[in-house]
Amino acid sequence: MNPTIGVLALQGDVREHLAALGSLGATPISVRRPAELAACDGLVIPGGESTTMVKLARIFDLLEPLREAVRGGLPAFGTCAGMIMLADGIEDGAAGQETIGGLHITVRRNAFGRQVDSFEEDLHLDGLADPVRAVFIRAPWVESVEADVEVLARVEDGPAAGRIVAVRQGPLMATSFHPEVGSDDRVHGMFVDLVRSARAPH
């Protein structure tokens, strides 16, 4: 079964996400319109600038359809700014900043600091045997989670050690880092598995 997985194509590493999904046997499509969203079994929301992405989603008449799709159980995977887009709450957000919501977490925007504070680290992710090389670029972190959210990874070294950077809640997944950077597609693989299990008859 090859699920159709969309990548929200408003900003960010759209091509890289499409390539990773395609290499895992999914049918990847770019999503800029409600009709394209409606064709998806799952959706990746890439990095970028979260306030700009919300504005663009409004311009493309996608914000409400995105909210309805996530509320309706569409599996979604947010990376970096995509994590902010899925979060129910934001610390240090722009005034009146909106999100798609659905993920019962509060995130802190630009938590690690500005562009100069971008960094890489090997992370142990629940569900994967070997560490993932995680690339953080002006990344958020998860400030708090509700009881139904599973923490998949935390920063392991340095001043931010212990901060939550990967979570899952039912069909929703989010990482502070960019799994599309580099050739390791195992994090995307976790999401493809999530989409497949959501589609399987129960």
List, by residue number, the catalytic residues.
80, 178, 180
Three state DSSP letters for the chain:
CCCEEEEECCCCCHHHHHHHHHHCCCEEEEECCHHHHHCCCEEEECCCCHHHHHHHHHHCCCHHHHHHHHHCCCCEEEECHHHHHHEEEEECCCCCCCCCCCEEEEEECCCCCCHHHCEEEEECCCCCCCCEEEEECCCCEEEEECCCCEEEEECCCCCCCCCEEEEEECCEEEECCCCCCCCCCHHHHHHHHHHHHHHCCC
